[in-house]
Structures are given as C-alpha cells and as structure tokens.
Amino acid sequence: MLDFWFLPPIPDAVREFLGFSPPVTLINIALVVYTFSALALTLARMMAGSNSYRGWAHLGYLGAFYGFYYYAGELKSNFWPVFAAGLTILCLENYRVWTYCTDAIREEREKLG
C-alpha cells in the first residue's frame, strides 16, 4: 500500500555515524506519550484562553517521528499511527484557535456596533 519508493536508502556512512536506531517499541511508546501530553496541553491552553498557535512545532515533532521510523526501517508499518496522532493534535489545535478567533471577532463586533 505504502512503499515509499521515493525515499532514498540511508547510506552506510550515515548509519555508521549515527549508530543503531532506537527500538521500534520505544518509538511507539514515545509516540503515545507525546500524543497524550500534546492533547492535554492543547486542552489546557483552550481552558486558559491562550492565543498562541503551536501547530508548526507539532509538525516538527511529527516529522521527527517519521524520521525515527524511517531510520529504524519501520516507516511502512507505522505511517498511519503518526498520521492519526498528527491529525488529532492539529485538529484540536486548530479548533482551539478557531474558537478563540470567533470569540475575538464577536467581541470586536460588539464594541463596534
């Protein structure tokens, strides 16, 4: 289904320099912990009414997870967990920003009207 033929193989020199990849089990556990804490922090920011957007940072973290799986040679079987985690976190983050903006626009309209 997903072959990632377009991704080049990692050269031996790079592997020699970086060493062994972490076990896939550990990457999976890290992904679950990251998803849990990212969702909890987004909900906390939603309650606090914060206006900061953390979507770009999350894209970086998710990219790092893809990088780890790719280096461990397990990207094919772990593409969808990272995708689902990213979709959930970014949906919640964007929903938070959307509700914040909607409230701000309504407040502004009330002041103007």
Partner 1 sequence: MLNNFATRATVPVTITITGFVIVCCFVLYSFIKGDLLRDTVQHEISLADTIVKSTRHAMLKSDRETLTNMINNIGDQESVEHVRIFNKKGVIMFSANPAELGNEMDKQAAGCNSCHGGPEPSTGLGSMEQARQFTNERGVSVLAITAPVYNEPGCWTAPCHVHPSDQKILGTLDIGLSQKTFDQTMQRLWWRMIIFCVMILILSVGGVSALLRKFVLSPVRQLTVFVDQVSRGNFDYPLPRGDREIESVARIFLDIAVHGDKMKGRPGEGQEEEGES
Interface contacts to partner 1, rule CB under 8 A = 24-25, 28-29, 31-32, 35-36, 39, 43, 46, 77-78, 80-81, 84-85, 87-89, 91-92, 95-96, 99, 102
Q: Tokens for 55?
A: 């979507």
- Percentages (nearest 5) of helix, strand, coil residues in the chain: 80, 0, 20
Q: Which is nearer to partner 1, 21 or 92 (CB)?
A: 92
Least spacing, CB of residue 37 vs partner 1, in Å: 11
Contacts of 24 (CB under 8 A, 6+ apart): 69, 72, 74, 78
Q: Which is nearer to partner 1, 4 or 36 (CB)?
A: 36
Q: Which is nearer to partner 1, 57 or 77 (CB)?
A: 77
Least spacing, CB of residue 39 vs partner 1, in Å: 5
Count of residues in the chain: 113
Least spacing, CB of residue 89 vs partner 1, in Å: 7
Contacts of 44 (CB under 8 A, 6+ apart): none
Least spacing, CB of residue 19 vs partner 1, in Å: 19
Q: Which residue from 34, 31, 27, 32 is spatially nearest to 74, judged by alpha carbons?
A: 27
